[in-house]
Each structure stands twice: as C-alpha cells, then as structure tokens.
Amino acid sequence: MSASHGIKKQRKNRFCGSVEKNRFWWATGLSINKINLVLKFWNCGKTAFKRLFFFVILRLLNLHYFYTMNEIGLKAQDASVAQLGLSNVEMAYWNLHPSELVEESIIRGEGVLTDVGALAIDTGEFTGRSPKDKFVVYDENTKDSVWWGDVNNRFESDKFDALHNRMLAYLGGKEVWIRDAYACADPTYRINVRVVNEFPWSNLFSYNLFLRPTTDEIKNFKQEWVILNAPGFKADPKIDGTRQHNFAIINFTKKLILIGGTAYTGEIKKSIFSVLNYILPHEKKVLSMHCSANIGKDGDTAIFFGLSGTGKTTLSADPARKLIGDDEHGWSDKGVFNFEGGCYAKCVDLTAEKEPQIFNAIQFGSLLENINFYDDTTTVDYSNISKTENTRVSYPSSYIDNAVDPAVGDIPKNIFFLTCDAFGVLPPISKLSTGQAMYNFISGYTAKVAGTEMGITEPTTTFSACFGKAFLPLHPTKYAELLGEKLKKHKVNVWLLNTGWVGGAYGVGSRIKLSYTRALITAALTGQLDNVEYGTTPYFKLKFPKSCPGVPSEILEPENAWKDKDAFKKKAQNLAAAFVKNFEQYASAANEEIMAAAPLVEVTA
C-alpha cells in the first residue's frame, strides 16, 4: 500500500462542513436539531464571519471547544501550545474525535479505509521498536536507581535539553495533534499524559491505547507527563548524542518523553509503560507487570505472563471470563488494574477462527499498521507479511465485548507463567514455590522454534527478565522481590505452563494440544489441582500434578513421555545449564530464596 493509495481527495475548508459539525456536536453534547440550527447561521456568511460567530456561540453556551489563531479543539481553558513551547506551530488540534483524525489522515494521503472501516497506514522505515535507541536521562534522581546498561542507555541532561529545543523548532510552522489522556485505571495511581503528535493517525493511536478522559475531565485536565512525538525529525548523532537518527528518550525529572525519527506507534505506548515500571515499584510499592489479566464469573482474577509465541493472547481471551487487559497492568494492595484503555494486537495470519475477539475489533476507529491488501481491493490479506511480520492493530478496549469497565480486578488468585518449551523438558503444568516463582519471573524463558525467524534451524532459548526486559528501568530483582512479597501475603498460586513440546523436543515430540492447555488452566482456576498427587521433575525440581481432568496423564510427567530417556536427560541438562548461565547477570543482586530455586546442573569430570 503506498502512502496515498491513489487518493486524490481535495482538502476541505477546516472551518465549515462535516468536520466542524462533528467537532461541535462531540464537544457540546447538544441534540442534532440544535446543532443544525446553529449551522444555518454558520453557513450564512463568509469564512471570517463564520469563525467569529461560531465561537461566540460556543462561549455563550459555556463550552470549552475553542478557536484561537493557531489552536482549535476541546481543552482546558488554561492549556495552550505556549505551555508546550509550541507557540509557533501553524495549527494545534486538541482532542479531536477519532472520526476527524481518520478523515484528516485520509485527506493528507497518509492512510486509507479498509473494507471494514479501519484506517490502514504505513509506519515507514521502522515497523517495530528500536531498543538500542531507547535512552533515560542521567541526573540526580536517576543515577542511583535506574538499572544502567544495554536496556537503559544513559543520556545527558544538557543533550536532552538541546534535542528538545531542536524538536520544538522542527515543529514550528507545522500542524500538530494534541491528546489529553491518562494511564492506570485505578484512580489512586492515575497519571495524566499529554501527547503531541506530528501525524493525526499517531494521535488516533494515542486515543485508542491510553485511557480516555471525559469531556468534563478534559476541561480541568492538568498535564503531568508530556510525550513529544515527531517521526519526521531526524536526529544528528554528532550533534544530539543519539546512536542514530531515531530515538526514544525518557526524562523522569522533567516528566518529558521525546520520540523522533520513527513513526512506529508502539514507541508511544511503551514509553509510558517504562515510566510506570519506574514510578509504581520505586515510589508506590505497586508491582508493574507485562501481562494479560482476566476475571471469572465469581470475581477471581488471573494473570498471564508470556513472551511472543507462548499463547498469552489466545489463552487469556477466554469467552467464559471478562478481560481486564491484554498487556500492561499494576498490582496494588487493592488488586489488579490495567494501565491502558486499548489493545495493540499482532495481525499476522489473523483469522476470525483463530482470534475472534481481535478480528471483530477491527472496525471503524481501529488503526492497522503495515498490512497489505489483496490485489485491487481494500480487503486486508493478513497472511501477507512482505512489509513486516510485526503487522499490528490498535483499538479501544470497548471494541471487545467482554472487556470490564473500569479495567480493575481483585487480588489475583492464580498466576500463569507461559513458556513454549521447544525442548520438551518442562511439564505441561507445574506449581511453583515463591522462590521458584521469583527465579522463573526473572528468567522469563521461552524458546524460538525453527522456521519462525530467518537463520534459525533448530530451537533456541530466549530469556527476557520479568517477561519484558526491554521496559525495565529498575533491576529485575526489584520486581521479583516485590512479586515474592505479594505472593506470600496473599497466598497466590503460581503455575508454570508449557505450551510447547511433549514426548520429545521439536522434530521428535509434538506440541501439546491447545485443548489440553485450556483444560489445565481450567483445572488450576477451579481448584481441581489442589488435592491431586504431585511428582517432582529432575534438575528443575518442579512439582507437577499426576492427573488432570481432560488431559492424558502420560504427558504430565516429561521424562516418562520420552521414549529415549538418555536423550531427555541430555536436553534437560542443557536447558538447566542455559537457565543458570542466563541468571549469572542477576545473581549478585538476588537473595538466597531466589538463588535456591535455580535448576541443578551436573558437573562433568
């Protein structure tokens, strides 16, 4: 899909027609008859008269929809582009309705509507995050608390200020779209975020993913954090101190995030996640988590951790349970709450049969990224990944039928660590002690299977601390110890769930059936595994149930499921050694309880 996709639509006057009508209606909440009455006057004069009359009417109605020389939209009376250092922009559009953002994107030739009404855009050079270009400002507040290294690259304060000024200068004379939003569904931990976007479709993403304040809340909105998002601005590493032309930089002291040189929208979402991963554990003693969460009919909350390919999205989307959220959550003394107001789902090979909730959520207001169409249509071909395997869609949580609102739940009763063990060593399900839970949480293990990525010819281990290493401003042990405290306090069950191979490694055994995995989760959630007999695996010391309704007992004990016992022992030892090797980077900061849960590795003479 090209940027314009053949669209040659003439741009409308910004102060007449359906666009203004939509803005007015949305801002006022008046009936359509009253709106039409005002519009009769609106259409009676020249443009200058229209503008003056329109906004006099709005003021008489005591509405906060406004127009100045270079600002228009819905905002607090004391909010302005001057506060953001953007007084010289051509026009700033505040809190536009999604329909307006879609229209603007199409008029500008930046996107097209699909046959189901979703807006499809291309993000250009970057179709994913760039972890090596993520920075944190080093200052008095962060020097002793941030986990410095390849996850949190150090950026100097003076360089940040200079880069910020250069970005402001770049946006001078341009149009910008401003979104007032917030993160954290629990009001106790809410942070207000003001997002400034160079493109209207980026602002649509911000609308979809963050929590959305009401009109009355916008009228009284006070910014706490600001995200300045300018994909068209390319940094000069020699001047700006970046690695290359793209960057995402967090300044915890100034509560300001700079994102430039990349149009990939995931950088916007994950920047606030990184902020919350610092603020909540470090300042509030709230555990921030890269996970999905749902609620049963009896109000029981379950949490699902897992890296890509483990089945986290599929398994947490249970029609019998309500969805709290699919990606980012906090765990306070009161319970679990979603950070976000939407979902950012992968689209590769998407079908209504595989992922009905995601498929049905793709409608008007959804934003599709880097997809391809079937020839001569606007029907999306989700199997076509010629641009990227990381095709995505964002949409509000309200597009999911069984999403809870507000997105909060009680203290979790069960937590699932999902792993796709392609080596066939780990049991389909095992119950973890607190020490094992902390150790496996820090490890964040899964395996990449041959054929899923170029160059991979056999399974390879993948570890990502706390199932989201790239977003951790603090040392992983900080999160693990907080997890351990909560597990002990609330007596939560933690399960290690292997959605990978049984009866042998990849190429010998077979991947466990999805129906078996669902049966194991159901049994854990309903207490059916509380009083059954358990065995213990060698090396990893994992306790596994010897029976489970709906699951063949012979696959529950990994070693017994293998025909070649010597081959199992070798694979198990290799995987245990990989765990221990990976954990060396965290061992110096881990407590005794965590270290005691490490797998056993036989020392050969």
Which entry of 194, 392, 431, 448 is annotated as an active-site residue? 392
Which entry of 262, 301, 313, 332 is annotated as an active-site residue? 313
Which entry of 23, 129, 469, 571 is annotated as an active-site residue? 129
134 among known catalytic residues: no
Distance between CA atoms of residues 234 and 374, nearest Å: 33
Burial of 281 (0-12, 13-18, 19+ CB in 10 A): buried
Task: Determine phi and psi for 534, rounding to 5 degrees.
Answer: -120, 145
59 among known catalytic residues: no
Token look-up 């979703």 returns: 118
DSSP secondary structure, 66-131, as one string: EE-SSEEEE--TT--GGGGT-TT-SEEEES--HHHHHHHHHHTTS-EE-TTS-EEE--TT-SS--G
Residues in the chain: 605
CB count in 10 Å sphere of residue 565: 10
CB count in 10 Å sphere of residue 180: 24
518 among known catalytic residues: no
Task: Determine phi and psi for 184, rounding to 5 degrees.
Answer: 85, 110
- Coil, helix or strand at residue 304: strand
Distance between CA atoms of residues 585 and 147, nearest Å: 12
Distance between CA atoms of residues 321 and 414, nearest Å: 14
SS3 string, 493-519, reads EEEEEECCEECCCCCCCEECCHHHHHH
Distance between CA atoms of residues 231 and 261, nearest Å: 5
Torsion of CA 525, 528, 532, 537, to 10 degrees: -30
327 among known catalytic residues: yes
Query: Looking at the DSSP assignment, which residues form a beta bridge with residue 248?
Result: 134, 259
Which entry of 50, 64, 269, 270 is annotated as an active-site residue? 270
Which entry of 4, 87, 99, 308 is annotated as an active-site residue? 308
Residue closest to 94 by CA, chosen among 194, 21, 25: 194
- Coil, helix or strand at residue 460: strand
Token look-up 């160059």 returns: 455
313 among known catalytic residues: yes
E strand intervals along 296-391 = 301-306, 322-325, 328-331, 336-338, 342-346, 367-369
Task: Determine phi and psi for 125, rounding to 5 degrees.
Answer: -55, -40
11 among known catalytic residues: no
CB count in 10 Å sphere of residue 33: 7
Residue closest to 421 by CA, chosen among 394, 443, 388, 439: 443
Which entry of 75, 212, 312, 475 is annotated as an active-site residue? 312
Could you list the active site residues?
129, 270, 290, 308, 312-313, 327, 392
